[in-house]
Chain A
Amino acid sequence: MNNQKLVQHTDRINTLLARYGVKFGIYKNNTFKEQLFPFDSIPRIIEDTEFKMLEKGLKQRVLAINFFLKDIYSDKRIVKDGVVPEDFIYASSGYMAECEDVMPLKGIYSHISGIDLVKGKDNEWYILEDNLRVPSGASYPMIARDLCRKSSPETFHNVKLMDNRNYADLLRKTMDYVNAGGHTVILTPGRYNAAYFEHSYLAEKTGAHLVTGSELFVENDVLYYISSNGSKEKVGAVYRRISDEYLDPMNFNPESLIGIPHIYDVFRKGNVALINAPGNGVADDKGIYYFVPKMIRYYLSEEPILKNAPTYLPFYEEDMQYVLENFDKLVLKDVAEAGGYGVVFGNTMTKQQKEDFIVLLKNEPRRFIAQEIIDFQDLEILDEGEIVPRKADLRAFVLMADEPYVWASGLTRFSRNPDSFIVNSSQGGGFKDTWVLFQ
């Protein structure tokens, strides 16, 4: 495959991305800063057989997680059977008592799952985390692919590359599958949200209306949207890009100004689909991550196809012992934090920091997980004209309608800092397109 042409277009594509508004905003020291999301034109390539394995493993994982969510908010068989200790459910910030006995339409909780993986130097893929609330990122490889094809059409001539521009169709199908009758809308917190580009892009590509909370209202157990000509239209599905706590000031955080009063009560009565369902945070908690392979065995009676990074729960006496003895070779994560925050590497701490941390760990063992540091493969990136190796991960998207579907692409994020393992975009990383080849 010849990338040369494409690589030459890197600057041009980045200029176009900037013009299209491919940016994300971050709050730093209380000020909103928008920054470009740098694109690297050397794609990550996943071969056909490898993708088939990933596809199988990801479908299995998302199916099991969905069973778990359904179980947790109803009978809790997995707790009664002693597979998951109840502490990990109720003490999780993602567990929402308000979701007890509220079954989403067609029993689907995680319609859009963003599963983060890395490929180790041992050539194995490892799951890093599951994102089941409002995972973002699909729009970036979508638009990048589009611009690449326009900038360098010859690159794509003789490649057996799966087209990734079908994401919009998949998403539309996913939203339509659970639609309770009425319009489909994408609910954005607004212009100053980190992922506003994505919200508007997906709305345009799927033909859904892009709305803010003030354009929606509830009347007699039905959700309505006020159209541009002022008419009142019934809404059947909301792909909401705002978090659970801000969704409905009558049921969740009463201070929320971006939510819609009573939208959760409409959902409760089955008159609207919320995508993803509220309450999913209980399944993508870093503590629950440990139990996902157990869920796969429990609900599906199958062996997990994809591996977790080896993880220890200091909550268990045996694991605590291991963590204390192997502190320097582990990475420790605060289960309540996200976005690359609350992550510390044992070997980078000073003696004092280590002692303080161990005190904290012993006081709140439930709050942390420890993982072996996976030495993951580098990918090549172009850094000021030179090709250099950098750490990268992959966010795969699994969409659930009548069955799970794995998008044949994904967001590859890389760290621009040669010494860093943290690839999160809020920490200044860039992205690549992900090419899945077919035979």
Chain B
Amino acid sequence: MAFLNYEYKMKIKYSKPVDKCYFTIKSIPADDFRQRNISYEISINPYVQYSEGVDSFGNIQIIGQEPESHSEFEFVIKGLVETYQVNVQGGVNTGKIGMYKYPYGKCISGEKIMGFVDELSAEMKGLTDEKEKCRFIMNQLYERIRYEKGSTEIETTAEEAFANGKGVCQDYAHIYISLLRAFSIPARYVCGLIVGEGQSHAWVEAVCDGSFIAFDPTHNREITDEYIKLGVGRDATDCAINRGVMWGGGLQTQEIECIVEKYY
């Protein structure tokens, strides 16, 4: 068990003023089997009115608009979360995991990934335990892909990243999800924060024998109590921390600062 203090700050600067914008921010940790949201505080600059809601994946979302002209938009969330070293959640609602079984969005396997699936199937003949399968696939993926900052973009798909043989956490998660789904293991994308990293992180929750188990394919390990989950979805788009529509604005640059520390 751990208490984690976190602060996530996102600042967007525009080369030309934005006349108005609408935004959806998914960055408030929801309670689940391995974390409890104790407190949080949000500030948005320029000051705007916003409301909270829950999306269809169970993520808490902040919805708002800035109707006045602005050239900077800043969002900060600070909070305290209690996390537990439990990584298995039983009693998964089978009616709600179907959407995580099928190829979708950035997790649609093409020829390259399917070729890898064929290779893996041959080696996995003896494996029956689903968790063992997940571990095996994660290991193989870790051997195959190289972590390289800046090698991919937000819009890169699992297939594209896999074909290039490199990527960042988002790509590892997308490829891993595509592989798991190809092996009929329901898997979803997790966006979150971890201790000691200056930006958001991504990992995967897979359904093994009726329970969600969280794997971090970028680090080739199961997750620990140093992880804070912010959102889940079929792929990264469903739980993007920030989504916006704006009028005007020209070029934009984004700065992200993120700190997660153990509290005690």
Contact = CB atoms under 8 A, between A and B. Distances in A.
Given A80-B94, A90-B99, A220-B51, A261 B56 contact: no
Contacts of A74: 95
A78 to B, nearest CB: 11
B245 A250 contact: yes
A291 to B, nearest CB: 16
B56 A254 contact: no
B63 A262 contact: yes
B56 A249 contact: no
A21 B24 CA distance: 41
Given A76-B98, A90-B102, A250 B55 contact: no
A98 B95 contact: no
B234 interface: yes
Given A79-B95, A90-B98, A102 B51 contact: no
B65 interface: yes
A249 B96 CA distance: 24
B22 A76 contact: no
Contact of B56 (A75, A98, A250): A98
Given A90-B98, A100-B96, A261-B245, A221 B56 contact: no
A221 B63 contact: yes
A89 B98 contact: yes
Nearest to B101: A90
Interface in A45-96: 74-76, 79-80, 86, 89-91, 95
Which DSSP category, helix, strand, loop or mixed, fits chain B's interface?
Answer: mixed
B22 A262 contact: yes
A79 B67 CA distance: 45
Interface in A213-241: 217-221
B49 interface: yes
Interface residues of B, number: 24
A249 B245 contact: yes
Contacts of A90: 98-99, 101-102
A97 B22 contact: no
Given A250-B24, A262-B22, A100 B63 contact: no
A269 interface: yes
Contacts of A86: 98, 101
Contacts of B61: 265
A97 B99 contact: yes
A250 B243 contact: yes
A382 interface: no
Contacts of A102: 56
B150 interface: no
Contacts of B22: 218, 250, 261-262
B55 A98 contact: yes
Interface string B36-50: 000000000000010
Contacts of B56: 97-102
B57 interface: yes
Contacts of B234: 97
Contacts of A75: 95
B95 A80 contact: yes
A279 to B, nearest CB: 10
A254 B53 contact: no
Nearest to B51: A221
A79 to B, nearest CB: 7
A268 interface: yes
Interface string B89-113: 0000011101101100000000000
Contact of A265 (B49, B53, B101, B238): B53
Contacts of B63: 221, 250, 262, 265
Contacts of A262: 22, 24, 63, 65
Interface string A185-225: 00000000000000000000000000000000111110000
A104 B24 CA distance: 21
A97 B57 contact: yes
A289 B230 CA distance: 39
A115 B57 CA distance: 32
B65 A261 contact: yes
Interface in B6-58: 22, 24, 49, 51, 53, 55-57
A97 B24 CA distance: 18
Contacts of B245: 249-250, 254, 261
Contact of B102 (A91, A100, A268): A91
B94 A254 contact: no
A217 B67 CA distance: 11
Interface string A250-268: 1100100000011001001
A178 to B, nearest CB: 20
Given A90-B101, A97-B56, A261-B22, A220 B49 contact: yes
A262 B61 CA distance: 12
A213 to B, nearest CB: 12
Nearest to B67: A219
Contacts of B67: 219
Contacts of B102: 90-91
Given A98-B55, A218-B65, A262-B65, A76 B99 contact: no
Nearest to A76: B95
Interface string B233-246: 01000100001110
B33 to A, nearest CB: 19
30 contacts: A74-B95, A79-B98, A80-B94, A86-B101, A89-B98, A90-B98, A90-B101, A95-B99, A97-B56, A97-B57, A97-B99, A97-B238, A100-B56, A100-B96, A101-B56, A218-B22, A218-B65, A221-B53, A250-B24, A250-B63, A250-B243, A250-B245, A254-B243, A261-B65, A261-B245, A262-B22, A262-B65, A265-B24, A268-B55, A269-B53
Please list the 4 inter-chain residue pairs (A to B) with the smallest Cβ-Cβ separation, ordered nearest first: A261-B22, A100-B56, A76-B95, A97-B99
Given A80-B94, A97-B234, A100-B56, 14 more contacts: A75-B95, A79-B95, A79-B98, A86-B98, A86-B101, A90-B98, A90-B99, A100-B57, A219-B67, A221-B53, A261-B245, A262-B22, A265-B61, A268-B55
